[in-house]
Amino acid sequence: MDPRTTVEAMLRPDLRGRTAYGAPQLDVPVALNTNENSYPVPPVVVEAIADAVRAVAAGLNRYPDREFTALRTALAAYLSRSGTPVGPGAVWAGNGSNEVLLHLLQAFGGPGRTALGFTPAYSMHPIITTTTGTTWVDGLRGVEGAGAFDLDVASAVAQVRAHRPDVVFLCSPNNPTGTALGLDVVVAVHDAAPDALVVVDEAYAEFARPGTPSALTLLAGRPRLVVTRTMSKAFALAGGRLGYLAADPAVTDALRLVRMPYHLSTQTQAVALAALEHADLMLETVGAIKEQRDRLVSGLTALGLDPVPSDANFVLFGTLEDARATWQELLDRGVLVRDVGIPHYLRVTAGTPEETTRFLEAVAAAVPTRTGAAP
């Protein structure tokens, strides 16, 4: 190879000119841009995690349990609390749900194969797809105006039949819109794509409003259906990096072919197990966060803006004349939110009551109100 050859020239052609994923990590008083849980891990759980890691520390000279058996059992028990039985053999986990999604695409995607998602949706779906050499297809949601972010059965089925994908991504609740899917959409997409793996990303499922269904209830008898979850959000464990899925055991067997050996470290397994042993305590903040989410919706509406009703721990809000300028004005006031690339919209995480107040005050100062109402 010519020593003058540049790294850019050596890079895979499909990656050249792309920008790496990365939400801004800025030191600001109010960080509401990455859908983290604003509440710290409870002291009791901190102690339990420290004890668990201490207990395994002497054995770190040995590789971790490659099958993460105890963790799969605990995750299955947690999922089964919803009323839908899930066995350990149906569970898979990775270092965050992104690694779980990567495993799925490594096993079921690849060169010559296609993945379809309905955008706007989770931005990592197309990124991970591309890194595996899989072709990404941007499916579409509703038309502009009322229901612009909804996905109806007829539209979804038509797009699946037109593109004949090998993998289909559905988000419920959807990121960045916060909107949930009806199970009729999931079933229709699954049935319209008889040769595709259908992945329902439920990263924010614990924050859904009462009556919002989970695709976990559809797993039985559908070996091509996968439901992914994470401990980053409701469990306030974003730094722990633990995502997981539930699917037919044949799917989890396939993922063993592509995962790196011993991909879940001993300490990662210990941390996740300690958190799951205190699941009720870890999830106590979910109700408080949902209250702040609903307060964001009402407060933004009072300011004359257009928030999208949400089943997640964030709110997408719009009708901003210049979303990027508003983002900067909020940042100048010490509040960091997310510009998700949708014209006239920004996304804000539901945090603590104090953070909600700071955000609404900043919006009131940055955006001329149309009603004159106070936040």
- pLDDT tens, residue order, the chain (375 aa): 566 678 888 999 988 888 888 788 889 999 999 999 999 999 999 999 999 999 999 999 999 999 999 999 999 999 999 999 999 999 999 999 999 999 999 999 999 999 999 999 999 999 999 999 999 999 998 754 446 788 999 999 999 999 999 999 999 999 999 999 999 999 999 999 999 999 999 999 999 999 999 999 999 999 999 999 999 999 999 999 999 999 999 999 999 999 999 999 999 999 999 999 999 999 999 999 999 999 999 999 999 999 999 999 999 999 999 999 999 999 999 999 999 999 999 999 999 999 999 999 999 999 875 444 444
Residues of the chain with CATH 3.40.640.10: 43-281
Cα gap 347→235, rounded to integer Å: 21
pLDDT computed for residue 282 by the predictor: 96
Residues of the chain with CATH 3.90.1150.10: 22-42+284-366
CA torsion 308→309→312→318, rounded to 10°? 10
* Residue bearing tokens 């464990």: 237
Cα gap 219→71, rounded to integer Å: 21
Number of Cβ within a 10 Å radius of residue 63: 11
Choose which CATH entry (1.20.1250.20, 3.30.1490.100, 3.40.1390.30, 3.40.640.10) describes domain 43-281.
Answer: 3.40.640.10
CATH of segment(s) 22-42+284-366: 3.90.1150.10
Q: Cα 204 to the chain's mean position, in Å? A: 6
193-221 core/surface letters (b: 16 or more CB in 10 A; e: else): beebbbbbbbbbbbbbeeeebbbbebbee
Sign of CA dihedral 143, 149, 153, 158: positive
Q: Are 207 and 344 in contact (CB under 8 A)?
A: no
pLDDT computed for residue 372 by the predictor: 41
For the chain, counts of helices (H) and of strands (E): 13, 12
pLDDT computed for residue 2 by the predictor: 66
Q: What is the pTM of this model?
A: 0.94
